[in-house]
Amino acid sequence: MSINQHSPSNVIEAWQQFLNNQGCSTGTPDGIWGPHTAEGTEAFQKANKLAVDGLAGPATLAAAESKGFKAPSSNFPPPGFVNTVFDISHLNSHVDLAKAKAGGMQAVFHKATQYLTFHDNYYRPRMQEAKAAGLLWGAYHFGAGGDGATQAKYFLDHAQPDGNTLLVLDFERDTISGQTNMTITEGANFVEYIYQQTGKYPGIYGGNYLRDLTKYQGHPTLSKCWLWYARYLATATPPNGWYRFDFWQYTDGVHGPDTTPVPGVVGHCDRDAFQGTAEELAAFWREHGV
């Protein structure tokens, strides 16, 4: 767990009150993470011989809990959501999907491909592991600048959907030097190819980049896709073109309203709330899986 500027106000206020009680002044507790809260956190870290960074991360909170601090419930997710989905890739090197299922997880998305130059070697064995554990399985492609249909074919070749796999276009700014961002037209070509091959539109995953591109109006083709939305805040509203999001990636394991670890996954991990019940999540997978 971490407490930061994205945490619910009641959690920040409890942290501020604790720091004040420890003689590490943050001013009047107001539930807003500002410079005084960071300074109070640094003072607490210095007093307890911790690494001084002004961030209330796991080591700092462990020291605080030994002194009686208890974070209030974040009340997350809000009513109408189930918090049983997570997403991983090769960057999550230590994963036990059977433990994730036993710990209450219901579904997992995994990276399959990126542009035309990368496929995730963990994808296939983890797909088998997830099926054996009873987890619902989803696959995503990280799009980059270039022909969308060609990328969609590359994705399908490696994802090998089994009839109950959710397919997703990860539509965000590119992270690899030398590659460019996928344009909205290229994204539309990608999802149209998937539709032509499977009879179903894939999901769209997006956050800041998708919001920027649809700032003034939605896109008629992308809007046919269900939405997996990235927003590390306690509340979220969908971008133009969608009236709702089905999945809400609310944390990367560090930032967000609740950073509780995923059972069976070592280290930080993305978590996703589904808008509906556990039964509706299973039905959603049956409806949209290919």
Looking at the predicted structure, is the pLDDT value of residue 9 above 90?
no
**Residues 60-88: pLDDT tens digits?**
999 999 999 988 776 778 889 999 999 99
DSSP annotation of 268? -
Q: Which of 150, 192, 188 is nearest to 171 (CA)?
A: 188
**Residues 200-223: pLDDT tens digits?**
999 999 999 999 999 988 999 999
Looking at the predicted structure, is the pLDDT value of residue 142 above 80?
yes
What is the percent of the chain with per-residue pLDDT over 70, rounded to a whole number? 99
pLDDT score of 30: 86
How far is residue 95's CA from residue 287's CA, in Å, rounded to a whole number? 28
Strand, helix or coil at 151? helix
What is the percent of the chain with per-residue pLDDT over 90, rounded to a whole number? 81
Mean pLDDT of the region 10-25: 92
pLDDT score of 234: 80
**Residues 94-125: pLDDT tens digits?**
999 999 999 999 999 999 999 999 999 999 99
pLDDT score of 74: 66
How far is residue 243's CA from residue 9's CA, in Å, rounded to a whole number? 27
Judged on CB neighbours under 10 Å (0-12, 13-18, 19+), 279 is exposed
Q: Which residues of 119-142 are buried (b: 16+ CB within 10 A; e: fewer)?
A: bbebbeebbebbeebebbbbbbbb
How far is residue 31's CA from residue 11's CA, in Å, rounded to a whole number? 7
Higher pLDDT, 258 or 196: 196
39 is written with which tokens? 């300074």
How far is residue 169's CA from residue 40's CA, in Å, rounded to a whole number? 42
Q: Are 10 and 25 in contact (CB under 8 A)?
A: no
Amino acid at 267: G
SS3 content of the chain, % helix, strand, coil (to 5): 35, 20, 45
113-117, 230-234, 282-286: the lowest-pLDDT one: 230-234
pLDDT score of 43: 96
How far is residue 132's CA from residue 236's CA, in Å, rounded to a whole number? 34
